[in-house]
Structure 1
Amino acid sequence: MGQDTEPFELDVYMRAFVPDAAQRRQEAMLERMRRLRDRGIIDDVSVSRWSSRACLSVELHHDRPDGTELYRELVDATDGTALSIQPFFRERKGPSRGRSVVHLPVVCVVVRRDDAIAGVYPCSAPEGTYSVTDCLDALEDGGDVENVDGDVALDPQPA
């Protein structure tokens, strides 16, 4: 990120119930993000916990995010770009009454600038995949993490 760019924040979504090893990885990622915030590289980090999946055909009204709204927002944001949130978010038909279910990743980071989505991790592109770790590495190295405009600046991991 250059110094002349507007500040941005990270919205972090983490699966609530994971094995101990995955929880340790989640906490290590959060610590890296907090250090980035403390160094002034990002403005803020917000963390939400979610389940392993959410029903797309049911609107729930409670304080805990279920992933449905974010999933729809990410689909809209990546539409028309080289990015895809598949296979990290997998939409499947549910077992009853034709409901659709989306399986949510263990960790997702959304880069926001002025409340608009500027980056999504994890994601895939024609040249490979981009993980949350790729995003954090780029931030620590002063790289660009805004990928939703279709221009992906990071070196992807092989698909």
Structure 2
Amino acid sequence: MELFLRSLAPPAARTVQEATIDRLKRLEARGHIREYELTIWGDRIRLDTTPRTPTEEAIRDKIDRFRRWERRNGVTLAPGFDEREIDPLIDDTYTVFRTPVIALAVYAGSNVWGVFPCEVDGDPVTVDACLDAFLRRGSLVESRSPG
């Protein structure tokens, strides 16, 4: 699993972020998940320029994988993730991908198994709902499709 946390989140969101980290630690300790990784990102990522740093390139690669998973599985990452045009007063319009305060990617091997939050058939599936399912299931995920 990979937990994504927005940097400079408001205090209420930081409390949720910390509680989610604690849940992942407990799930890992109990053997419900193999491991997790923590990634900090900003509130938006510009999509129409060449990445300036290896970290920016890695995050954009992950977003591309998440969007392919979204299309392949007929789910939507909105409204948690959102692509929009920015029209600044002094420069040209550009596209950004807004990130949620907290997101979770679940992998089966190197394949994307799920990305949360998302909507499945119009129903929201939160990060907490995903972790609840792992707690109830008590086992690791099986590979579904490459991602």
TM-score band, normalised by the shorter chain?
A: 0.7 to 0.9
Change (3 A) 1:131 1:62: same
Aligned residue for 1:7? none
Q: Is the Cα–Cα contact under 8 Å of residues 57 and 99 in structure 1 kept in the other structure?
A: yes
Cα distance in 2, alignment partners of residues 123 and 76 from structure 1: 13
| CA pair 114-91 structure 1, distance change in 2 beyond 3 A | same
How far 1:94 moved relative to its partner? 2.0
Larger helix percent: 2
Shift of 1:70: 2.1
> What is the match of residue 106 of structure 1?
101
Where in structure 1 are there 5+ consecutive unaligned residues?
1-9, 151-159
Q: State the match for 1:52 in structure 2.
A: 43
Instruction: Give the alignment of 1:26-45 within 5 angstroms.
Output: 26-45=17-36
TM-score, with length taken from structure 1? 0.79
TM-score after normalising by structure 2: 0.85
Q: Do 2:107 and 2:114's aligned partners in 1 also have CA atoms closer than 8 Å?
A: yes
Q: Which residue identity lines up with residue 52 of structure 1 in the other structure?
A: D
2:72 corresponds to which of 65, 71, 80: 80
Measured on the aligned residues, the alpha-carbon RMSD in Å equals 2.3
2:5 and 2:101 in contact (8 A); partners too: yes
- Residue aligning to 1:12: 3
Q: How many residues align?
A: 140
How far residue 80 of structure 1 moved from its aligned partner, in angstroms, is 3.0
Deviation per residue, 1:14-42 (Å, 9 max, x gap): 00111111101100011001110011111
The alpha carbon displacement at 1:67 in A equals 4.0
Q: Structure 2: which 5+ residue stretches go unaligned?
A: none
